[in-house]
Amino acid sequence: MEKFKAALQSRDYSFTKRLGESMAVSIKWLQREPRQIPTDQRHWPVREQWIAIGLFTVGAAVASMFFADAAATINSKRLPQLLVDVSNWLTDFGKSVWFLWPSALLLAACALAGMSTRLTRTQHQVLAAIAVRAQFVFIAVAVPGLVTALVKRVLGRARPLVVDWSIPHPFTYTPFTTKGDFNSMPSGHATAAVSAAIALGAIWPKARPYLWGYAVFICVSRVIGLAHHVSDVLVGALIGAACALWIRDAYAARGIIFYRDAIGRVMPKPGPSWRRIKALAPAILGQ
């Protein structure tokens, strides 16, 4: 009996140790020093374009508060109820949980699978490549979501028609509140949809048109469903884009998942082939 307990304790310790080591590998990239960008690449056109887009978005959001928010709310009330109902149903696919849970579970599965002693060095590298991409998506969606949640509570902007169902009040604010009716700016759905579109599009460039179509639809649905003002959606989209791009650049600066080409653009590194990914399951299960 004592021998059995000792063996069990030894096995538990071994399991815990291997799991800890596997998880540590997934965040080891944080210890890498960022690579220096050559002087002629520090002000590359794509970055300047995103700065211009950011400034334009802020200006558009301010202008929207004065000239578009109230009108958009009134016009949304006049839309066919079927369109509103469909938008309210589909808009739930803009929640961050649709990206956070799958990426977190995939990362955890990779950490557990990485403890297997049956895998070859190449298979461990394939597993690591999957894990770091899941980690990137999780961080790129979670960080802007946290920023948006904080800004919501600081600003305390009222949602459309919360004060009076017949008259929009785009300038009603109750700062530092936790009430959902006063968490309108920025839009959390817009933040999640845009950050996810950028994160996934950074890894799979060919999917970008579909991802941006999804993000635009989610943003529009928030206005149609009278959940947000137009300016809320613009600010939410800006936070999602800015944070996701900053995180992508942090990975690229360390040569992980992404790299910079000759003119400074961030490009995705080739991922593991589908053939190698399919070969992992039998190897992990020992079949």
| The predicted structure's pLDDT at residue 115 | 76
How far does CA 158 lie from the centroid of its chain?
A: 25
**Domains in the chain, ordered, with CATH?**
44-285 (1.20.144)
| The predicted structure's pLDDT at residue 100 | 96
| The predicted structure's pLDDT at residue 47 | 66
CA 64 to CA 43: how far, in whole Å?
A: 31
Count Cβ atoms within 10 A of the Cβ of residue 40 and give its class: 0-12 exposed, 13-18 middle, 19 or more buried.
Answer: exposed
Torsion sign across C-alpha atoms 219, 241, 153, 68: negative
Beta-carbon contacts of residue 223 (< 8 Å; ≥ 6 apart): 72, 73, 76, 229, 230, 233
C-beta separation of 175 from 155 below 8 A:
yes
C-beta separation of 215 from 247 below 8 A:
no
| The predicted structure's pLDDT at residue 145 | 96
| The predicted structure's pLDDT at residue 113 | 81
With left for phi above 0 and alpha for psi between -120 and 50, is residue 235 left, alpha or beta? alpha
Q: Beta-carbon neighbour count of residue 35 at 10 Å?
A: 12
> How high is the mean pLDDT in each 10-residue block of the chain (287 residues)?
44 52 57 59 60 88 92 90 91 94 92 76 84 94 96 93 76 87 93 97 95 96 93 96 93 90 86 80 67
C-beta separation of 73 from 168 below 8 A:
yes
Q: 3-class DSSP state for residue 267?
A: strand
Q: Is there a cis peptide before residue 282, judged by omega within 30 degrees of 0?
A: no
Beta-carbon contacts of residue 144 (< 8 Å; ≥ 6 apart): 191, 192, 195, 239, 240, 242, 243, 244
